[in-house]
């Protein structure tokens, strides 16, 4: 088996982490999905979250951009709270919808499954947000959008519409150019390759490697262990709503400290 090339990129030494999650808890009914999860991610760092289905990985990602409200704890991106404001006494209150939308615009989120606008072409799906949110000129957005579609090998379908000239099952591949066009500070990936047609997986992973090499801060929920081993700066194991262990890929995969991690890796490697 040919080993994947190691991605080399620079991690910032800035003292303010790009992501700081402190004691995040989330419950759905009687089930506690997140049990005090704390994680810091530096600017330019690539962190892969792995673990069994239902362990809280996706819920944690959704809490990072306030798609899910946390029951307790706090989330900061680039030093600013997401979803909340802090008063002079240190108490948190809900932020305005406008502020939440502004913060979310700085965070790209590539979902496992995502519905594109069915009445718009691929290119229109990509350029809509930059024009409406970032007030980018249409000519500039079209130029950048075309280049971004080319990166994922989809430029030949830029005039197609979902379900007609390209498969809806490739939607996560189409999300990447759209989010990149917004120039986010942080990219979140929730199993970005799991619902892809097989021929699209390599293209998407290549773009993710390129983003990492360019210094994009990324938190990636994945079962692609080759990607985690060769691209991540850190791998984090979650189970039952908690972080069990984390470390650099070589240490994590070759000498995990947790018996639960060893058992999990033995079943997927």
Contact 105, 179 (CB under 8 A): no
How far is residue 148 from each of residues 130, 172, 198, 257, measured CA to CA in Å?
13, 14, 20, 40
Rg over alpha carbons for the chain, rounded to the nearest Å, is 19
pLDDT at 174: 56
C-beta of residue 177 within 8 angstroms of C-beta of residue 154: yes
> pTM value?
0.78
Q: What is the separation of C-alpha 120 from the centre of its chain, rounded to a whole number of angstroms?
A: 24
Please give the pLDDT value at position 65.
93
Query: Distance between CA 135 and CA 4 in Å, rounded?
Result: 39
Q: How far apart are the first and last CA of the chain?
A: 13
Q: Residue 234: inside a domain, yes or no?
A: yes
Listed residue (195, 200, 256, 197) closest to 228, CA to CA: 256
| Contact assessment for residue 175 and residue 122, using Cβ atoms and an 8 Å cutoff | no
- d(CA 261, CA 269) in angstroms, rounded, equals 12
Q: What is the pLDDT along the chain (269 residues), one digit of tens a residue?
A: 444 455 555 555 557 899 999 999 999 999 999 999 999 999 999 999 999 999 999 999 999 999 999 999 999 999 999 999 988 888 889 999 989 988 988 998 887 655 555 567 777 777 776 776 667 788 877 777 777 777 666 655 555 554 444 544 445 555 666 556 668 899 999 988 876 777 778 877 888 888 899 899 999 999 999 999 999 999 999 999 999 999 999 999 999 999 999 999 999 98
Considering only the C-alpha atoms of the chain, give the largest distance between any 2 of them, rounded to a whole number of Å. Answer: 58
Domain presence at residue 78: no
| Inside any domain, residue 101 | no
Q: Is the dihedral of CA 39, 22, 32, 108 positive or negative?
A: negative
For position 62, what pLDDT does the model report? 94
Does residue 36 form part of some domain? Answer: no
Burial of 130 (0-12, 13-18, 19+ CB in 10 A): buried
- Any domain includes 239: yes
Within a domain: residue 173? yes
Contacting residues for 221 by C-beta, under 8 A, at least 6 apart: 48, 49, 50, 57, 58, 61, 189, 190, 191
Give the pLDDT confidence score for residue 2 in this predicted structure: 43
- How many CA atoms, within 13 angstroms, populate the side-chain half-sphere of residue 255? 3
pLDDT recorded at residue 165: 46
Question: Considering the domain boundaries, does residue 202 fall inside one?
Answer: yes
Structural domains of the chain, count: 1
The verdict on residue 37 lying in a domain is no
CATH number, residue 148: 3.40.50.300
Residue 221 sits at φ, ψ, to 5 deg, of -85, 120
Q: 74, 80, 93, 86: which is closest to 18 by C-alpha?
A: 80
Instruction: Print the domain residue range for 50.
Output: 42-56+107-268
Residue 45: its pLDDT value, please? 97
The pLDDT score that the predictor gives to residue 222 is 93
């Amino acid at each position: 088996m040919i080993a994947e090339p190691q991605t080399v990129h620079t991690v910032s030494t800035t003292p303010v982490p790009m992501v700081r999650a402190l004691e995040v808890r989330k419950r759905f009914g009687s089930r506690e999905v997140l049990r005090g999860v704390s994680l810091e991610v530096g600017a330019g760092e690539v962190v892969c979250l792995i673990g069994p289905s239902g362990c809280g990985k996706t819920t944690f990602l959704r809490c990072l951009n306030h798609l899910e409200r946390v029951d307790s704890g706090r989330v900061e991106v680039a030093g600013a709270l997401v979803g909340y404001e802090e008063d002079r006494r240190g108490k948190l209150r809900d932020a305005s919808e406008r502020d939440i939308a502004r913060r979310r615009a700085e965070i790209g989120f590539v979902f496992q499954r995502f519905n594109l606008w069915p009445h718009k072409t691929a290119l229109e799906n990509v350029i809509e947000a930059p024009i409406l949110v970032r007030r980018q000129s249409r000519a500039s957005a079209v130029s950048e959008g075309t280049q971004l579609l080319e990166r994922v090998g989809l430029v030949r379908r830029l005039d197609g519409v979902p379900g007609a000239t390209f498969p809806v099952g490739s939607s996560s591949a189409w999300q990447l150019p759209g989010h990149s066009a917004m120039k986010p500070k942080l990219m979140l990936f929730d199993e970005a390759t799991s619902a892809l047609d097989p021929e699209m997986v390599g293209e998407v992973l290549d773009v993710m490697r390129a983003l990492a090499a360019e210094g994009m801060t990324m938190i990636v929920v994945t079962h692609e262990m080759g990607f985690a081993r060769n691209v991540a700066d850190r791998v984090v194991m979650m189970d039952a709503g908690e972080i069990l262990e984390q470390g650099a890929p070589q240490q994590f995969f070759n000498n995990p400290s947790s018996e639960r991690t060893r058992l999990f890796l033995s079943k997927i490697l």
